[in-house]
Amino acid sequence: MPRWIDAKLIKTVDRSDTTKSFFLELKGVDLFEFSAGQFITLDLPIGEKRLDRWRSYSIANPPDGSNIVELVIVKVPFGKATTYLFEKCVPGDVFKLKGPGGVFCLPKEIKNDLVFICTGTGVAPFRSMTWDIKNNQKAHQKIDLIFGTRTASGILYLEEWEELKEKMENFDFSIALSREEYKGYQGYVHTIYQEKFKEVKANRTFFLCGWQNMVDEAKAKLLEMGYVEDQIVEELYG
């Protein structure tokens, strides 16, 4: 695959008041090969310098043998990139895309229980990972997703998590809303994993994805609980 390739925006889907999925079709490529959890980089026409133009986003869809990539993106107030994507882009527009990149991926053999902790669009790599495991019937242990956002309107892919809980062996999810109740609970992701996984086990791996403050705080709390560095895998954005 070339270092940079043209990718055409084929559609967008509203996921919440501030979040959309952008579906990109890679031109001249029949199959986009990547590992669940990786990201791509877009070169957007929003500046002259590379740092102004390049934005990286986790791939939200699982590898499926196609040349389509889904990115789930939240609109950042006054953000140059998201203002451009949300307000100026329409289906048919073409971007330069580079990737895949990153090592925020599952091991080939999933021997440990997995705990996915995320906020907002940090859920994207976990959606990719979970559907990849489900679609390919990969052997796995217990998988717990803990997703945090402010209100119920911001819960991303809720119907899919409910479907996976019903149809996928050893999968469960928990929702933390900081400004509303969800099924009688209100709070942050930290309260959930501190309660559910207070009994420290060596065969458990935590994957953290989201804003740096959340990831840093979660890592610190997990270490305080008695887990070790090797049991914590991080992906930051923002």
Q: Provide the CATH topology of domain 113-237.
A: Rossmann fold (3.40.50)
Coil, helix or strand for 135?
A: helix
**What is the CATH T-level fold of the domain 5-101, as seen in this structure?**
Elongation Factor Tu (Ef-tu); domain 3 (2.40.30)
pLDDT at 2: 57
Q: What secondary structure does DSSP assign to 177-225, as a single string?
A: ESSS-BTTB-S-HHHHHHHHT-S--TTEEEEEEEEHHHHHHHHHHHHHH
How do residues 66-105 score in pLDDT, each as one tens digit?
A: 999 999 999 999 999 999 999 999 999 999 999 999 999 9
A 10 A CB-CB count for 85 gives: 24
Q: Where, residue-wise, is CATH 3.40.50.80 in the chain?
A: 113-237
Can you tell me whether residue 149 is helix, strand or coil? strand
pLDDT 10s digits, 184-193? 788 999 999 9
Cα dihedral across residues 31, 33, 36, 42: positive or negative: negative
42 alpha-carbon distance from chain centroid: 17
Question: Which residues fall within 8 angstroms of residue 225, CB to CB, at 6 or more apart?
Answer: 194, 197, 198, 200
Which residue has 């877009």 as its token pair? 42
Mean residue pLDDT of the chain comes to: 95
The 10s digit of each residue's pLDDT in 122-143 is 999 999 999 999 999 999 999 9
Are 209 and 230 in contact by the 8 Å Cβ rule? The answer is no
